[in-house]
Amino acid sequence: MAVPLLPLFPLSVVLFPRTDLPLHIFEDRYKDMVTDLLETTREFGVVLALEKGIASVGCTARINEVAKTYDDGRMDLNTIGFRRFEIEDLDEGRSYLRGRVQFFDDESTENLDEPIVQKAIRGYYSIRALETGQNLPEPRLNDQQLSFQLAQAVSDLNVRQMLLMSRNEAERIRRLADHFPLSAARERRIEHFRTIIPRNGHGKLLPGA
């Protein structure tokens, strides 16, 4: 029996399992895709769009709700990440891209180091406390793969993609524990410069600032 092809949606996004992804559908090919999905599994693959092509590893999203439909066929969707996959082959037989994929999950059962876990959690909240992190959700700290909840605070798409591809929860937690302090420090510097640049050196705002 042939394995069904998974509809693919290339985006400048790296989606993680059990994290929310609201979408606004406006291109005709993806309107077609959603119409087909609503009649079947409601599951499609989100893959990172690259300068040339797409990433080979992605995460499926499931449509929880069509939040709004427009007269011209556009749609607002509420979706959530579900399971990771690796693309084995591509099919362009429809208006939207599809792929033959292999689903995968973690392979390692390495024990987590609790101090490292706590460092990663603190790092998430340090990012969330910054102006640039105010829209971050409250993470589900009881998630079996906590790293994917915490990785929502990572803005670097390359780092997000590496985390998605990793098959080791302890490795992902360690990466996040190391990444967050550096990322928070960088964001604080950016916020600091954003505050002082409009001033003229005498503590007064420049005209028009």
**For position 190, what pLDDT does the model report?**
66
Instruction: Give the tens place of pLDDT for each residue, 145-178.
Output: 999 999 999 999 999 999 999 999 999 999 999 9
Residues of the chain within CATH 2.30.130.40 domain(s) are: 6-104
Q: What is the largest CA-CA distance in the chain?
A: 75
Cα–Cα dist 77/67, whole Å: 5
Mean pLDDT, to the nearest integer, of 9-18? 98
Output the pLDDT for position 187.
72
| Confidence check: pLDDT of 22 > 50 | yes
Q: Which two tokens stand for residue 53?
A: 């092509």
Instruction: Tell me which DSSP letter residue 135 carries.
Output: T
Collapsing DSSP to helix, strand or coil, 54 comes out as strand
- Choice between 112 and 192, residue whose per-residue pLDDT is larger: 112
Beta strands in the chain (DSSP E): 6-11, 20-25, 43-48, 57-69, 75-91, 98-104
Mean pLDDT of 13-34: 97
Span 104-111, mean pLDDT?
Answer: 89
For residue range 35-84, list pLDDT tens digits in order.
Answer: 999 999 999 999 999 999 999 999 999 999 999 999 999 999 999 999 99
CA proximity to 157, closest of 82, 57, 35, 85 = 57
pLDDT at 186: 77
The architecture CATH gives domain 6-104: Roll (2.30)
Give the tokens for residue 30: 């993806």
* C-alpha to C-alpha distances, 45 to 71, 181, 185, 194, nearest whole angstrom: 26, 31, 34, 38
Place of tokens 């042939």: 2
- Neighbouring C-beta atoms of residue 106, cutoff 10 Å: 17
Task: State mean pLDDT over 201-208.
Answer: 50
Q: Do 62 and 37 touch, CB atoms closer than 8 A?
A: no
What's the whole-model pTM score? 0.88
pLDDT score recorded for residue 194: 64
